[in-house]
């Protein structure tokens, strides 16, 4: 095997994939078990050429891929793996750093701290916060709630009924009780209904998963201060929008957070996985996580980022974030975020103007929640029809016990034509 030749073939495959991804059915058009049935049940005895692997990626795996990089991937939160980030992942895998201590990869640890400072500046966050990278927001929220439990000694976490399921998952792991606060008519936590008795932490959400509603963080911060509770802000999706000053109204109060999560792999054009976690209380994270056995003891006086989260081994995730920040710059990030918001506003306008269609929630960012007149089943059929056709991929939620369609914009390749195609498909499916 020649690494250069195989590498060139891999790059060529990636280049062609990115060129043609818009032509592929967005949702994989396969049945459960279908992909696996086309692969050998046992591993090979002798090694095979990498070219054979690449061929099978195309022939066997690709039909089973749901194309998150498609410009018509509108489900969940649309994401992009920017090209500099893709190539940086190749470099990170080549270096194969495992940065559990500073000395096991000083550049990885220091670049991680630096890039988190860079992003903090881009988003207009307070100076001096300590930032590091976890794999996903689930882990970031788990880490924050562990710190909150450690420092408060309490066992209740409070969030709105619209908070992400990762809060429930983390609470279950940590043995915390979850108390759900009701929301107002725009799906925002109602601070007047907050009960912070025995609360270790409140998770306030800026950009909820269902509708991207923004909890009233200033009022929640007041309540946390009164109750001595930790304030964790989940801005996993929407936090990236703060790179645009005109979208920072949703940041009000966040400067008072004890911890904050923003997923760079959601709307900051960085490949999975890159969840950014800042805290104004790094000592409390270390209290929750630092354990130094003899075989990891060194005389280095430097931060070891494994002291801030559940995992010991840490790969070089900051490299891809750094590459994206360098190659896009503040302007490139702003331009992409503004375009996604512009397209969402455009789509929202089309829905509003079209008889028989309703927008079901305010649209502060790039997600539109809407439905067609008629039953839940009818709307569900619209979504399933489009998804099965491969023309676009949409998801849904329930609001006020009604089935609601979600169209999430965020992929950097999405153009007005793509949004128009989705809208055409929706109207056609609704008429069938």
According to CB under 8 A, which residues from 345 to 364 bind a second copy?
none
Residues 218-247 that bind a second copy (CB under 8 A): none
Q: Which is nearer to a second copy, 329 or 349 (CB)?
A: 329
- Tell me the angle at which helices 376-389 and 416-431 cross, rounded to the nearest 10 degrees: 130
Distance CA 236, CA 213 (A): 13
Q: Which stretch binds a second copy (CB under 8 A): 79-87, 180-188, 358-366, 371-379?
A: 79-87
Any contact of residue 15 with a second copy (CB under 8 A)?
A: yes
Note the helical H segments in 21-136.
34-37, 50-56, 83-95, 106-123
CB of 226 to a second copy, least distance (A): 27
CB of 353 to a second copy, least distance (A): 26
Q: Report strand pairing: 275-279 vs 130-134.
A: antiparallel
Binding residue (CB under 8 A) for a second copy from 202, 288, 344, 367 = 288
CB count within 10 Å of CB 34 equals 12
The label of the residue with tokens 């569900």 reads: 380
Any contact of residue 381 with a second copy (CB under 8 A)?
A: no
Distance CA 159, CA 165 (A): 11
CB of 225 to a second copy, least distance (A): 27
Q: Which stretch binds a second copy (CB under 8 A): 159-167, 179-187, 357-365, 420-428?
A: 159-167
Q: Which is nearer to a second copy, 135 or 284 (CB)?
A: 135
CB of 92 to a second copy, least distance (A): 8
Omega cis (within 30) before 273: yes
Any contact of residue 35 with a second copy (CB under 8 A)?
A: yes
CA distances from 187 to 66, 239, 283, 399 (A): 30, 18, 34, 9
Judged by DSSP in three states, 249 sits in: helix
Binding residue (CB under 8 A) for a second copy from 25, 71, 84, 364 = 84
Q: Which is nearer to a second copy, 267 or 289 (CB)?
A: 289
The label of the residue with tokens 């591993």 reads: 43
Residues 304-333 that bind a second copy (CB under 8 A): 310-313, 315, 319-320, 322-323, 325-332
Distance CA 304, CA 301 (A): 9
Which of these, 88, 65, 59, lies nearest to 327 by C-alpha position? 88
Any contact of residue 104 with a second copy (CB under 8 A)?
A: yes
Any contact of residue 169 with a second copy (CB under 8 A)?
A: yes
Judged by DSSP in three states, 404 sits in: strand
Residues 117-156 that bind a second copy (CB under 8 A): 117-119, 121-122, 135-139, 142, 146
Any contact of residue 432 with a second copy (CB under 8 A)?
A: no
Q: Which is nearer to a second copy, 108 or 379 (CB)?
A: 108
Binding residue (CB under 8 A) for a second copy from 24, 28, 241, 392 = 28
Binding residue (CB under 8 A) for a second copy from 3, 186, 245, 249 = 3
Binding residue (CB under 8 A) for a second copy from 24, 148, 156, 170 = 170
CB of 140 to a second copy, least distance (A): 10
The strand order across the sheet containing 259-263 reads 130-134, 275-279, 259-263, 230-234, 199-205, 156-160, 177-181
> Which residues, 6+ apart, have CB-to-CB distance to 111 below 8 Å?
316, 318, 319, 322
CB count within 10 Å of CB 33 equals 8
CB of 216 to a second copy, least distance (A): 22
Any contact of residue 85 with a second copy (CB under 8 A)?
A: yes
Residue 230 and residue 201 in contact, taking contact as beta carbons nearer than 8 Å: yes
Binding residue (CB under 8 A) for a second copy from 273, 339, 354, 376 = 273
Any contact of residue 71 with a second copy (CB under 8 A)?
A: no
Which of these, 148, 123, 301, 99, lies nearest to 206 by C-alpha position? 123
Judged by DSSP in three states, 205 sits in: strand
Which of these, 405, 354, 398, lies nearest to 382 by C-alpha position? 405
Binding residue (CB under 8 A) for a second copy from 148, 406, 410, 418 = 406
Find the helix or strand (DSSP H, E) in which 98 lies: none
Q: Which stretch binds a second copy (CB under 8 A): 75-83, 188-196, 249-257, 417-425?
A: 75-83
CB of 25 to a second copy, least distance (A): 12
Distance CA 26, CA 387 (A): 8
CB of 190 to a second copy, least distance (A): 20
């Amino acid at each position: 095997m020649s690494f250069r030749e195989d590498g060139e073939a891999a790059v060529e495959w990636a280049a062609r994939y990115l060129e043609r991804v818009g032509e592929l059915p967005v949702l994989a058009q396969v049945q459960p078990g279908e992909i696996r049935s086309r692969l050998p049940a046992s591993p090979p005895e002798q090694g095979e050429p990498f070219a054979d692997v690449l061929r099978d990626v195309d022939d066997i795996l690709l039909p089973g891929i749901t194309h998150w990089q498609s410009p018509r991937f509108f489900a969940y939160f649309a994401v992009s793996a920017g090209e500099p980030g893709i190539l940086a992942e190749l470099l990170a895998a080549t270096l194969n750093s495992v940065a559990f201590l500073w000395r096991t990869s000083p550049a990885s640890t220091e670049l991680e701290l630096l890039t988190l400072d860079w992003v903090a500046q881009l988003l207009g966050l307070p100076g001096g916060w300590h930032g590091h990278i976890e794999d996903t927001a689930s882990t970031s929220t788990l880490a924050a709630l562990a710190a909150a439990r450690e420092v408060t000694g309490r066992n209740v976490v409070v969030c709105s009924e619209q908070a992400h399921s990762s809060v429930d998952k983390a609470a279950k792991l940590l043995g915390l009780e979850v108390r759900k606060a009701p929301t107002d008519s725009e799906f925002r936590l109602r601070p007047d209904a907050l009960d912070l008795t025995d609360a270790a932490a409140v998770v306030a959400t800026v950009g909820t998963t269902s509708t991207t509603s923004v909890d009233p963080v200033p009022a929640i911060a007041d309540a946390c201060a009164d109750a001595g509770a930790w304030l964790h802000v989940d801005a996993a999706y929407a936090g990236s929008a703060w790179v645009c000053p005109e979208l920072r109204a949703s940041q009000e109060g966040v400067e008072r957070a004890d911890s904050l999560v923003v997923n760079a792999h959601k709307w900051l054009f960085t490949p999975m996985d890159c969840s950014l976690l800042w805290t104004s209380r790094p000592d409390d994270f270390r209290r929750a996580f630092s354990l130094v056995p003899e075989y990891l003891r060194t005389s280095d006086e430097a931060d070891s980022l494994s002291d801030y989260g559940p995992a010991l081994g840490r790969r070089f995730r900051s490299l891809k974030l750094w590459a994206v920040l360098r190659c896009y710059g503040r302007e490139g990030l702003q331009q992409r975020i503004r375009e996604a918001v512009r397209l969402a506003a455009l789509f929202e306008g089309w829905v509003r103007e079209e008889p028989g269609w309703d927008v079901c929630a305010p649209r502060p960012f790039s997600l539109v929640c809407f439905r067609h007149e008629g039953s839940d089943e009818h709307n569900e059929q619209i979504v399933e029809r489009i998804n099965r056709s491969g023309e676009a991929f949409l998801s849904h939620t329930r609001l006020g016990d009604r089935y609601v369609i979600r169209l999430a914009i965020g992929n950097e390749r999405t153009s007005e034509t793509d949004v128009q195609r989705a809208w055409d498909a929706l109207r056609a499916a609704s008429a069938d």
